Structure 1
Amino acid sequence: MQQELLEGICGLTRELWEGVHRLVRFPTGFQRASSSVIELHPEEPNRSDWW
């Protein structure tokens, strides 16, 4: 059980870092990327304010 939890956390962390690195490398693509993020989290439409 603990091993599965650790693997899940590692997977989520890796996906998060890959997304951050994509935003850093291609800032002009942020608007396209943020549209899908807004669809996943409609309660947080101003995610760009985090940066």
Structure 2
Amino acid sequence: MEGTDTRERCAASAMKRRARRELLAAVAHLDDNFVARTQHDPFSPPTYPWWKRRLDE
């Protein structure tokens, strides 16, 4: 994935190591599912976050 959201990084940095690892694993799984169900929108502005540059199938 192109990177994590700033809020996600801030929340993860405030967590204990084990909780952070579990959260990031869960989010990565959700991101993978989202990417598998969508495709890249070549006409979306590059300044948008990665999830807003996706099209539903």
TM-score by length of 1: 0.45
Which of the pair is proportionally richer in helix?
1
Q: Which has the higher contact order (CA 8 A, sep 6+)?
A: 2
TM-score (norm 2): 0.42
Q: Which has the higher strand share?
A: 2
